[in-house]
Chain A
């Protein structure tokens, strides 16, 4: 009975949800205005957007694949947020995840592993790499009191350039240069290490990352709402001193949760690489990390919120691409809309806090 009540309370709409919806609506409205200002008929633009977002099974699948990446990063953000830690290093965690996934996938013994281990091992490698990357920030916080925002941000930049570096050199991951026109990218990963398609049909490219990601979403939701660990994270986030006094291992919790967030980011990178791109290129993670961060922010701590937000951003991205191709509206418009959402919500945070306190 009480469990049901807690469950309901965790998804019940509150003023925060209303504000998020209002912010998105306002941003979309301004976007529509800008489309009109550009001289493009708004109806045409919206149609192109819808078509690109969910207009065909292929489009829908592509949107969902993007949403998956956002969701994983957003989950990591929300997890760390529970302990009052702000992880903005999603971009970098995706990057190191991609590097690790590629490295493992291209390692000959892995492709021959049975029972799907061929694609699971690189994913695990990506998780470990991401966990390490997040853990560095955690250790810095615990040992040196370093602000985790700055640490994860700097690590993010470093990781992105690590990707660039790793595909520049044949000693690392670059494909052998057969001609002078060979691009700096890795070899394509073997078929066995690619994530299997759920429907077996390349025209609807939903891949195995989706169920795995959803499982993690459930895990995170359960941990946050239904475990002692979740309570301990909450206590650490709300009052670290009291948590310490109550015997909780605050330092270990801090490092641990940042590792977990990093692992989720790494997994997102693996999904991108093994599920869609199959080749490691410089800048493959471009913008996905920040988008995932925004999804996490929008969700205000709720896992259903992360799922909803990541779908929204998945549609935004796919729809935006199609809008550019068909209606000549630059994808930069979508970027503007995203920026507006963040700014509006950040500005309203104080008002939301007051509203929630009065509940």
Chain B
């Protein structure tokens, strides 16, 4: 019963005398400048469900891809049933009895269930009838019902999940890896899935369940391992009892270090915004709902108010609707339902240009996709939305552009050799500071949305960024922070709301004393005080 910070030694021996099915020792993998995994060791036992926890970017998918042969590790080794295991392709992994149920990329949408089952499995003429018969057997064994001749694109997400699982089970694997299977399922489907996991484990197969949804772990996990930043930070042999410790391990930077280097500089503000008319709210979000292409509810009736000068934080483990919320509020996604207003002006579905003109700054969570053009230089990126200001005799005035960029770089401590250096050459922290500099110097700036602004940054950069955010709030700008770094939010924000599965679970003051309640919301537990009025308080 140990949940502790792990210092990289080999996975602890279990008290049972059963040999591990798959032993992983010191695995490491690097992609370009990103160290996705470093010194990861763990042991997977047959006949039990092992949960692999961690946020987006923690390295869970990379680990799975290494096990499944999609990539090769840079260091470390894997031992399968006592023999060294080095798969060079998914075909290798499949031949060794390791099957993986993916989040995406495993089914061909315009083919039927039977055809997808036969893909890569048959030779010569297809025997669709025999396959349909096999599906029937699966249904009896595992309770997974499927229409053999339905096309994948016509199936619900839960049903597609079932096809993926059946596709794996048909091969009678020794180890079944499920990568975030419940991310897209309805509650009833989740229960069914977890029941299947238990049945599969009961037949002697090892099951690895990769997830960051905590409520489900309670139901099936026999063991759990937590990854963070590519390393193993915690293990548990009784996960159901230690959920809150696991949560902390997932989202805190360092369990040993003091809670946060940020000192709460000011008393939590009491913003009496019950007295503010809606027109003067920096942000008024009303019933924002987003359904994705598969019909899955990503954001569910999100209603929130942010007063000018207030910093509201949306906490929650990533993947619970934060991305969709950010996309809607930055003008890149039209919500299925609902509206939002910035200082009384409706902004739903408006173009990014209109939003910017209205004074909305956005620091998106994926800056490479949305906020910057990596092929251009620092100055061009920092002035990307206001290039038209730097003209002389109709031509681009590079000197003025560079001067303005240098000025911003100094004010926001963006460290680079000069404004004409390639943007892609900057460190992550400096890139983020540059994007922030651009958004914070919008004129006028009335509302700021910052999504995961400190992801992947070192402590110094984190402090600097929050310093700027606080300064801007002090000027009367309404700030909405979306982040999974709870400790940072507790230090910086005035108010914290929690998203779980797209729903607003609750709202409270940003007070360290509220940690238990916030943690419960993040884990999907309803607590007593989630009345709508309180959600806005």
Residues of chain A touching chain B, judged by Cβ–Cβ distance below 8 Å, are: 1-3, 5-6, 222, 226-228, 230-232, 234-235, 238-239, 241-247, 249
Most chain A beta-carbon contacts within 10 A, residue among B369, B395, B420: B395
The answer to whether A245 touches B394, judged by C-beta atoms less than 8 angstroms apart, is no
Q: Which residue of A lies closest to B352 (CB)?
A: A245
- Complex partner residue of B395 from A1, A5, A222, A238, CB under 8 angstroms: A222
The answer to whether B395 touches A247, judged by C-beta atoms less than 8 angstroms apart, is no
Listed by A's residue number, 29 A-B pairs whose Cβ atoms lie within 8 Å are A2-B398, A2-B402, A3-B398, A3-B399, A222-B395, A227-B395, A228-B390, A228-B396, A230-B396, A231-B387, A234-B375, A235-B376, A238-B376, A239-B372, A239-B374, A241-B370, A242-B369, A242-B370, A242-B372, A242-B384, A243-B373, A244-B351, A245-B331, A245-B332, A246-B385, A247-B351, A247-B353, A247-B356, A249-B353
Task: Give the complex CA separation of A134 and B444 in angstroms.
Answer: 39
Q: Give B344-383 as 1s and 0s: 1 = Cβ < 8 Å from A's Cβ atoms.
A: 0000000111001000001010000111111110001000
Task: Give the complex CA separation of A222 and B332 in angstroms.
Answer: 32
The answer to whether B352 touches A244, judged by C-beta atoms less than 8 angstroms apart, is yes
Task: Give the complex CA separation of A226 and B391 in angstroms.
Answer: 10
A247 contacts across to B, CB distance below 8 A: 351-353, 356, 385
Task: Give the complex CA separation of A227 and B380 in angstroms.
Answer: 12
- Complex interface residues of chain B between 394 and 434 (CB less than 8 A to chain A): 394-396, 398-399, 402, 420
Q: Which residue of B lies closest to A240 (CB)?
A: B373
B390 contacts across to A, CB distance below 8 A: 228
Q: Which residue of B lies closest to A225 (CB)?
A: B396
Q: Which residue of A lies closest to B419 (CB)?
A: A2
CB distance from B112 to the nearest CB of A (A): 27
The answer to whether B332 touches A238, judged by C-beta atoms less than 8 angstroms apart, is no
Task: Give the complex CA separation of A243 and B396 in angstroms.
Answer: 18
Most chain B beta-carbon contacts within 10 A, residue among A2, A234, A247: A247
Task: Give the complex CA separation of A222 and B395 in angstroms.
Answer: 8
- Asked if B41 lies at the interface with its beta carbon under 8 angstroms from chain A, I say no
A235 contacts across to B, CB distance below 8 A: 373, 376, 380, 384
Residues of chain B touching chain A, judged by Cβ–Cβ distance below 8 Å, are: 330-332, 351-353, 356, 362, 364, 369-376, 380, 384-385, 387-388, 390-391, 394-396, 398-399, 402, 420
The answer to whether B395 touches A226, judged by C-beta atoms less than 8 angstroms apart, is yes
Task: Give the complex CA separation of A5 and B377 in angstroms.
Answer: 14
Q: Which residue of A lies closest to B355 (CB)?
A: A247
Task: Give the complex CA separation of A320 and B388 in angstroms.
Answer: 48
The answer to whether B396 touches A226, judged by C-beta atoms less than 8 angstroms apart, is yes
Q: Which residue of B lies closest to A2 (CB)?
A: B398
Q: Which residue of A lies closest to B394 (CB)?
A: A227
B375 contacts across to A, CB distance below 8 A: 234, 238-239
The answer to whether B385 touches A6, judged by C-beta atoms less than 8 angstroms apart, is no
B356 contacts across to A, CB distance below 8 A: 247
- Complex partner residue of A6 from B352, B371, B398, CB under 8 angstroms: B398
CB distance from A302 to the nearest CB of B (A): 16
Most chain B beta-carbon contacts within 10 A, residue among A226, A227, A242, A249: A242
The answer to whether B388 touches A228, judged by C-beta atoms less than 8 angstroms apart, is yes
With A2-B399, A228-B396, A230-B396: A245-B388 Cβ-Cβ less than 8 Å: no
A241 contacts across to B, CB distance below 8 A: 332, 369-370
Q: Which residue of B lies closest to A235 (CB)?
A: B373
With A235-B373, A235-B384: A245-B399 Cβ-Cβ less than 8 Å: no
CB distance from B397 to the nearest CB of A (A): 9
B394 contacts across to A, CB distance below 8 A: 227
CB distance from A294 to the nearest CB of B (A): 25
Task: Give the complex CA separation of A241 and B373 in angstroms.
Answer: 9
Task: Give the complex CA separation of A230 and B376 in angstroms.
Answer: 12
Task: Give the complex CA separation of A247 and B387 in angstroms.
Answer: 10
Q: Which residue of A lies closest to B375 (CB)?
A: A238
The answer to whether B398 touches A242, judged by C-beta atoms less than 8 angstroms apart, is no
Task: Give the complex CA separation of A227 and B391 in angstroms.
Answer: 8
Query: Given A231-B376, A245-B371, list of 5 further CB < 8 A pairs?
Result: A6-B398, A232-B387, A241-B369, A242-B370, A247-B385
A239 contacts across to B, CB distance below 8 A: 369, 372-375
- Complex partner residue of B362 from A1, A2, A245, CB under 8 angstroms: A245
Task: Give the complex CA separation of A238 and B368 in angstroms.
Answer: 11
A227 contacts across to B, CB distance below 8 A: 394-396
Task: Give the complex CA separation of A242 and B353 in angstroms.
Answer: 12
B376 contacts across to A, CB distance below 8 A: 231, 234-235, 238
B387 contacts across to A, CB distance below 8 A: 228, 231-232
Task: Give the complex CA separation of A122 and B464 in angstroms.
Answer: 62
The answer to whether B395 touches A246, judged by C-beta atoms less than 8 angstroms apart, is no
Task: Give the complex CA separation of A353 and B107 in angstroms.
Answer: 33
Task: Give the complex CA separation of A328 and B534 in angstroms.
Answer: 92
Q: Which residue of B lies closest to A222 (CB)?
A: B395
CB distance from B123 to the nearest CB of A (A): 34
A245 contacts across to B, CB distance below 8 A: 330-332, 352, 362, 364, 370-371
Task: Give the complex CA separation of A52 and B154 in angstroms.
Answer: 66
The answer to whether B330 touches A231, judged by C-beta atoms less than 8 angstroms apart, is no
Most chain A beta-carbon contacts within 10 A, residue among B371, B385, B387: B387
A230 contacts across to B, CB distance below 8 A: 396
A5 contacts across to B, CB distance below 8 A: 420
Q: Which 8 A-B pairs have the closest CB atoms?
A: A247-B353, A246-B384, A246-B385, A238-B375, A239-B373, A2-B398, A245-B352, A228-B387
Task: Give the complex CA separation of A5 and B402 in angstroms.
Answer: 13
Task: Give the complex CA separation of A245 and B355 in angstroms.
Answer: 10
Q: Which residue of B lies closest to A247 (CB)?
A: B353
Task: Give the complex CA separation of A226 and B127 in angstroms.
Answer: 64
With A245-B362, A246-B352: A238-B374 Cβ-Cβ less than 8 Å: yes
Q: Which residue of A lies closest to B399 (CB)?
A: A2
Most chain B beta-carbon contacts within 10 A, residue among A2, A230, A244: A2
Task: Give the complex CA separation of A222 and B373 in angstroms.
Answer: 21
Q: Which residue of B lies closest to A230 (CB)?
A: B396
Task: Give the complex CA separation of A243 and B364 in angstroms.
Answer: 14
Q: Which residue of A lies closest to B438 (CB)?
A: A246
Task: Give the complex CA separation of A313 and B371 in angstroms.
Answer: 42
B364 contacts across to A, CB distance below 8 A: 245
Task: Give the complex CA separation of A221 and B334 in angstroms.
Answer: 39
Task: Give the complex CA separation of A98 and B379 in angstroms.
Answer: 44
Task: Give the complex CA separation of A249 and B387 in angstroms.
Answer: 13
Task: Give the complex CA separation of A249 and B371 in angstroms.
Answer: 16
CB distance from A116 to the nearest CB of B (A): 26
Task: Give the complex CA separation of A246 and B332 in angstroms.
Answer: 11
Task: Give the complex CA separation of A242 and B331 in angstroms.
Answer: 12
CB distance from B381 to the nearest CB of A (A): 9
Task: Give the complex CA separation of A245 and B380 in angstroms.
Answer: 14
A243 contacts across to B, CB distance below 8 A: 373, 384
CB distance from B438 to the nearest CB of A (A): 9
B351 contacts across to A, CB distance below 8 A: 244, 247
A238 contacts across to B, CB distance below 8 A: 373-376
CB distance from A256 to the nearest CB of B (A): 16
CB distance from B401 to the nearest CB of A (A): 9
CB distance from B477 to the nearest CB of A (A): 19
CB distance from B395 to the nearest CB of A (A): 5
Task: Give the complex CA separation of A226 and B332 in angstroms.
Answer: 30
Task: Give the complex CA separation of A226 and B371 in angstroms.
Answer: 23
B380 contacts across to A, CB distance below 8 A: 231, 235
Task: Give the complex CA separation of A222 and B394 in angstroms.
Answer: 11
Q: Which residue of B lies closest to A239 (CB)?
A: B373
B373 contacts across to A, CB distance below 8 A: 234-235, 238-239, 242-243
Task: Give the complex CA separation of A2 and B221 in angstroms.
Answer: 62
A231 contacts across to B, CB distance below 8 A: 376, 380, 387, 396
CB distance from B178 to the nearest CB of A (A): 31
CB distance from B31 to the nearest CB of A (A): 15
